[in-house]
A and B are shown apart, each in its own frame.
Chain A
Amino acid sequence: DIQLTQSPSFLSASVGDRVTITCRASQGISSYLAWYQQKPGKAPKLLINVASTLQSGVPSRFSGSGSGTEFTLTISSLQPEDFATYYCQLLNSYPLTFGGGTKVEIK
């Protein structure tokens, strides 16, 4: 099975900060990676599909990059509504594993 390792697991940042979250795959997965945002008590929300495609309706301050084994989610200027937990997910190999999550909290 392919493992996804997210880092950091916890991140403290201020409004306006540029934030980068990394997801590393245990073997190459081309661009088959997604990013989700989840707020407490809510279902996950798709942000980025196949590594870099911004989902419709998602603000342009979110961007994704990478291929192979290393991927990043970047928030260019953190907004109050962005404080949440972020997950990456494998899309091309079963099981469709999620990363362990990155909790972004207010500094």
Chain B
Amino acid sequence: EVQLVESGGGLVQPGGSLRLSCVASGFTFSDHYMDWVRQAPGKGLEWVGRTRNKANRYTTEYAASVKGRFTISRDDSMNSLYLQMNSLKTEDTAVYYCGRSIPYSAHDVWGQGTLVTVSS
């Protein structure tokens, strides 16, 4: 079964850090681009960023709202995707989803999401 499972969410104070993980199974993880998408409570979807595959040198793209604070990485040997979140703000409170993609194509597989709450 093709599956993505996120973990690592929780409560963190403003200015703090958190690292999310997304473990893939059932497909060749290394072939795919992988994205993070978030959804604040009661709000719409917001694309956070992307890591390309090895063939495209694992290059990354970020939304302006997180650039310089968040870092996306991956470990193809572990079929894992990561989101390192630093200098967290209250407006980063959201459910964070990982999603599978290929260039110029949609996210066809999504994880179940992990909730990050930034609050004092």
Contact = CB atoms under 8 A, between A and B. Distances in A.
B14 interface: no
Which residue, of A44, A91, A99, has the highest number of chain B Cβ atoms within 10 A? Answer: A44
Nearest to A47: B106
B104 A91 contact: yes
A46 B107 contact: yes
Contacts of B46: 98
B64 interface: yes
Given A43-B97, A49-B105, A96 B110 contact: no
Interface in A26-46: 32, 34, 36, 38, 43-46
Nearest to B35: A96
Contacts of A96: 35, 47, 50
A85 to B, nearest CB: 8
B105 A91 contact: yes
Given A43-B97, A50-B104, A98 B47 contact: yes
A83 interface: no
Determine chain B's interface SS by DSSP, over half rule: loop
Contacts of A94: 50, 61
Interface in B63-113: 63-64, 97, 104-108, 110-113
Interface residues of B, number: 20
Interface string B37-74: 10000001111001000000000010110000000000
Given A43-B97, A43-B112, A91 B106 contact: yes
Contact of A50 (B105, B107, B112): B105
Interface of B: 35, 37, 44-47, 50, 61, 63-64, 97, 104-108, 110-113
27 contacts: A1-B64, A32-B104, A34-B106, A34-B107, A36-B45, A36-B106, A38-B45, A43-B97, A43-B110, A43-B112, A44-B107, A46-B107, A46-B108, A49-B105, A49-B106, A49-B108, A55-B106, A95-B47, A95-B61, A96-B35, A97-B47, A98-B46, A98-B47, A99-B44, A100-B44, A101-B44, A101-B45
